[in-house]
Amino acid sequence: MKKLTILLLTIFLFNCNGNAQKKKQETFKVVKTESEWQAQLTDMEFYVLRKHGTERAFSSPLNNNHEKGIYVCKGCNTPLFKSEHKYDSGTGWPSFDREIKGNVAYSTDNDLGYNRTEEHCATCGGHLGHVFNDGPRNTTGMRHCINGVSLKFIPKE
């Protein structure tokens, strides 16, 4: 009985760390070395986009930006969000109720001890933020909570 218990426990432990829970390595259209990214980005941009960091809440000027235009990836200029989908979530980060389809990719992150859906640029893999299902109910119900430092705003002409 003792051997059976040890065997079952061993099987359980190995199954909990199986391939399904490991992040698969993605390939992106824009690939640069760490030193190339560091040369292109500021320290904070590099920390957020390449090291999956988070900027301090209410620190981004884009949080209060109400101009018409488009938000692109600071790393590669891929269009990510439209100004008409931006709203004030009160969280301190620029928030959108939807992304530009195909330009944002998703993965699972459990750095805080629970699963969250992480968002990154589908072109360069830059970390953008996370998406939650507590957004505006009258539209998509989603809140794309994005680090402003990972975005560049291009005003509508």
Among the options 76, 121, 124, 145, which is catalytic? 145
Q: Which residues contact 60 (CB under 8 A, 6 or more apart)?
A: 93, 94, 147, 148, 149
How many whole angstroms from its chain centre is CA 140?
Answer: 18
CA distances from 3 to 7, 8, 21, 59, 132 (A): 6, 9, 28, 57, 45
Active-site residue, 124 included: no
Helix (H, G, I), strand (E, B) or coil at 37: helix
Q: Where are the beta strands (DSSP E) in the chain?
A: 69-73, 79-82, 86-87, 95-96, 104-109, 116-121, 127-132, 143-146, 151-155
Q: DSSP label at 135?
A: S
**Annotated active-site positions, please?**
145
